[in-house]
């Protein structure tokens, strides 16, 4: 009876929260609708015949036609306070619509026009032509300036003032209700008091629901990026190095079929961008030029494992965006598996709130989805390397957990590490994480048995090492030369040297401390590019978010203290220490040999994120044993949620805001969903 009464109270609370969500949607998120009504503001319509000061536009008695960008006109003699403005237009506004800036002359600024903002008006987005323009006192005139006009015959018919606009957005209401209901359910069931049980059906279902949400989110971001998903019997994008490499392999050669121009080969230093620009020569961007031929210097694992087999079997080229999506889905599932294995091996007493919070941040909080925002050949190398790295780490923990199928696990572990290296050569450093597992890898028994196990593990590593060195030697005459120093890019990579330590201070700032840009423009968190004042030389510097831009990583500052308190000489202690140390080695390596760009952070963030999770779980265990686990579990849940929101926000747009550029209607609908104040 007590449970029935408790559930009844829960349903009543959820019903109240649903009513609160509806009320918030009506009165809070649509507060702009009520402003002119409460103020009894006068509604007026100004026809095009009354527009004045026409610039770059043509007017008649029925409409004003916008002829080009920076077209402008003024609506004079308004004489009332303005709360919103509706632009009535006809003709072809284009699929991307147009931008309009509004200037106001009112009681506060009576002698000059003050710019109050810029809005995006899109014919595919309902209500986008109603702008929340508020004047200070009576408005004497409004000036409209049009830019980014994608249509050819945009005609402005009239301007309406203070026409109330109401739009009930079901998605926004349901999102608010979901958040409130989730908080209510957490308070009711108190999951910090429930022990995680891997045999519990509902707990396992929730865990897999998080994984499915991650995969669906990855697919949505790839779709929103506008990336091509076209299957073709020929290479469509002649700048896609992986497609060109697949084409070359299918023709039985190592160099790309594309030939460099004679003008490029005639340059004194073709690797110097200024020389290429001065001569105005065409070239294959980010390819390697060596002895008059183009090569792809990217890892060959995606080609050998996926692209080439698909081409040979079907006769079509697999779209690069789809290949990125496949590998990142594998990486997401491997990340979830790795997290669950860590719980099983080292933290079996974890409470359910901590467990499910860690699952959420593993999928959404470690920036794995960054590659989905622009799924190009650069991101294919990254996603492939991450997928095989996480699969290899899973194999290590599976070997530790169970002696069953040891030979298969050893071989797969070595194979995944080899494919990781064949995807991104710098990830070879992560093989060091296997060192604490050597006693487990070799097992018990005599020297012959141990040698046999070592051979099984090392065989794929040795095979791929020989394959890669032979591949390099056949192309560049050296087994250790990957071709990176011969790439045609923004600078001459030959001058990027590991001994150039003068860049380290700036690199530490970018990779560790550089903050995000936070504003009121959806999705509110953005990566940014900063140039430190102490910069003394050129290095590649693109938008990035430092490690400590994500709250979950702050516990790394206490990493040494927490690891030291772990059981002495335990595998957990050594594993956590290496998962902390090895990712940080990439900071100097990436800044000295590459530069600053967010996709290089993916060498660091996922593995360091797993280390951060281990630190949080260790701290939670420590305080739980002292009857103080609930506050730590709640703090971790909040930290994981905030980290996931921040990471998902920056991953949504990716490196070059492909989402907003290639799917402007979908993006603007999302903007209007969250930016209700505009």
The tokens for 515 are 């903050």
pLDDT at 150 (0 to 100): 74
pLDDT at 86 over 50: yes
Reported confidence tier of residue 606, pLDDT bands at 50, 70, 90: very high
CB 341 within 8 A of CB 626: no
DSSP secondary structure string for all residues of 481-538: --SGGGB-SSS-GGG--TT-GGGHHHHHIIIIIPPPEE-SSTTSEE-B----TT--S-
Question: What whole-number distance in Å separates Cα of residue 218 and Cα of residue 352?
Answer: 25
Question: What whole-number distance in Å separates Cα of residue 402 and Cα of residue 460?
Answer: 22
pLDDT at 532 (0 to 100): 66
3-state secondary structure 106-138: ECCCCCCCEEEEEEEECCCCCCCCEECCCCCCC
Question: pLDDT tens, 145-182?
Answer: 998 887 667 889 999 999 888 989 999 999 999 999 99
188 or 111: which leads in pLDDT: 188
Question: What whole-number distance in Å separates Cα of residue 91 and Cα of residue 83?
Answer: 27
CB within 8 Å of 7: residues ≥ 6 apart: none
pLDDT at 449 (0 to 100): 83
CB within 8 Å of 158: residues ≥ 6 apart: 45, 46, 47, 48, 88
Reported confidence tier of residue 224, pLDDT bands at 50, 70, 90: very high
- 258-281 b/e (C-beta count within 10 Å ≥ 16 → b): bebeeebeeeeebbeeeebeeeeb
Question: What whole-number distance in Å separates Cα of residue 506 and Cα of residue 531?
Answer: 9
Question: What whole-number distance in Å separates Cα of residue 477 and Cα of residue 486?
Answer: 13
pLDDT at 535 (0 to 100): 59
CB within 8 Å of 483: residues ≥ 6 apart: 288, 290, 295, 296, 297, 472, 475, 476
Q: Which residues pair with 98 in a beta bridge?
A: 121
The one-character DSSP state at 95 is T
Question: What whole-number distance in Å separates Cα of residue 340 and Cα of residue 204?
Answer: 10
Average pLDDT, stretch 571-598? 90
Largest CA distance in the chain: 98
Bond into 523 cis (ω within 30): yes
Least confident of 246-250, 370-374, 536-540, 641-645: 536-540
Average pLDDT, stretch 637-659? 92
The one-character DSSP state at 306 is I
Question: pLDDT tens, 394-440?
Answer: 999 999 988 777 889 999 999 999 999 999 999 999 999 999 988 87
65 or 643: which leads in pLDDT: 643
Average pLDDT, stretch 219-246? 92
pLDDT at 553 (0 to 100): 97
pLDDT at 406 (0 to 100): 84
pTM over 0.85: yes
Average pLDDT taken over every residue of the chain: 90
The tokens for 428 are 């070879």
pLDDT at 1 (0 to 100): 46
Quick one: which of 100, 102, 160 has its CA closest to 135?
A: 102
């Amino acid at each position: 009876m007590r449970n029935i009464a408790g559930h009844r109270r829960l349903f009543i609370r959820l019903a109240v929260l649903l009513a609160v969500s509806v009320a918030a949607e009506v009165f809070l998120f649509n507060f702009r609708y009520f402003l002119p009504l409460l103020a009894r503001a006068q509604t007026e319509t100004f026809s095009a015949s009354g527009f004045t000061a026409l610039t770059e536009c043509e007017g008649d008695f029925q409409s004003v036609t916008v002829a080009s960008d920076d077209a402008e006109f003024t609506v004079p003699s308004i004489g009332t306070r303005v709360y919103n403005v509706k632009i009535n237009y006809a003709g072809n506004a284009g699929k991307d619509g147009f931008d309009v800036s509004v200037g106001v002359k009112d009681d506060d600024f009576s002698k000059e026009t003050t710019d109050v903002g810029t809005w995006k008006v899109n014919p595919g987005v309902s209500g986008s032509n109603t702008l929340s323009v508020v004047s200070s006192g009576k408005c004497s005139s409004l000036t409209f300036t049009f830019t980014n006009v994608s249509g050819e015959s945009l005609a402005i018919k009239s301007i309406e003032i203070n026409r109330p606009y109401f739009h009930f957005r079901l998605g926004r209401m349901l999102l608010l209700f979901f958040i409130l209901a989730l908080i209510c359910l957490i308070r009711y069931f108190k999951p910090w008091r429930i022990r995680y049980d891997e045999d519990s059906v509902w707990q396992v279902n929730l865990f897999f629901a998080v994984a499915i949400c991650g995969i669906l989110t990855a697919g949505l971001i790839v779709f929103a990026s506008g990336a091509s998903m076209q299957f073709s019997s020929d290479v469509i994008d002649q700048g896609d190095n992986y497609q060109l490499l697949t084409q070359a392999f299918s023709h039985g050669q190592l160099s790309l079929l594309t030939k460099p121009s004679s003008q490029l080969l005639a340059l004194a230093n073709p690797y110097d961008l200024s020389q290429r620009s001065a001569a105005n020569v065409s070239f294959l961007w980010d390819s390697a030029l060596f002895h008059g031929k183009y090569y792809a210097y990217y890892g060959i694992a995606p080609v050998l494992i996926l692209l080439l087999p698909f081409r040979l079997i079907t006769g079509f080229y697999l779209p690069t965006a789809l290949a990125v999506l496949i590998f990142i889905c594998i990486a997401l599932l491997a990340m979830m598996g790795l997290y669950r294995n860590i719980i099983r091996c080292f933290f079996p007493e974890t409470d359910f709130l901590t467990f499910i919070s860690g699952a959420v941040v593993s999928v959404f909080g470690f920036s794995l989805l960054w590659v989905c925002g622009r799924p190009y050949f650069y991101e294919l190398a990254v996603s492939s390397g991450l997928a095989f790295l996480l699969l290899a780490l899973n194999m290590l923990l599976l070997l530790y957990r169970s002696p069953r199928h040891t030979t298969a696990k050893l071989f797969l572990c070595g194979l995944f590490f080899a494919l990781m290296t064949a995807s991104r050569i710098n990830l070879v450093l992560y093989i060091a994480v296997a060192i604490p597992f050597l006693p487990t890898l070799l097992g018990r028994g005599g020297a012959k048995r141990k040698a046999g196990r070592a051979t099984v593990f090392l065989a794929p590593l040795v095979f791929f090492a020989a394959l890669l060195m032979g591949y390099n030697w056949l192309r560049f005459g050296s087994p250790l030369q990957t071709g990176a120093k011969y790439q045609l890019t923004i600078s001459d990579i030959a001058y990027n040297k590991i001994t150039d330590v003068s860049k380290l201070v700036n690199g530490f700032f970018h990779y560790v401390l550089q903050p995000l840009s936070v504003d009121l423009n959806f999705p509110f968190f953005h990566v940014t590019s900063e140039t430190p004042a102490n910069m003394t030389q050129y290095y590649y510097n693109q938008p990035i978010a430092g490690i400590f831009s994500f709250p979950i990583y702050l516990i790394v500052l206490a990493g040494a203290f927490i690891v030291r308190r772990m059981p002495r000489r335990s595998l957990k202690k050594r594993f956590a220490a290496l998962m902390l140390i090895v990712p940080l080695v990439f900071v100097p390596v990436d800044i000295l040999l590459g530069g600053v760009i967010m996709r290089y952070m993916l060498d660091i963030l996922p593995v360091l994120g797993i280390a951060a999770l281990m630190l949080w779980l260790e701290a939670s265990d420590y305080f739980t044993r002292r009857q103080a686990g609930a506050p730590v579990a709640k703090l971790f849940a909040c930290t994981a949620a905030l980290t996931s929101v921040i990471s998902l926000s920056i991953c949504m747009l990716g490196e070059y805001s492909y989402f907003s550029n290639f799917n402007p209607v979908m993006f603007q609908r999302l903007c209007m969903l969250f930016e209700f104040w505009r």
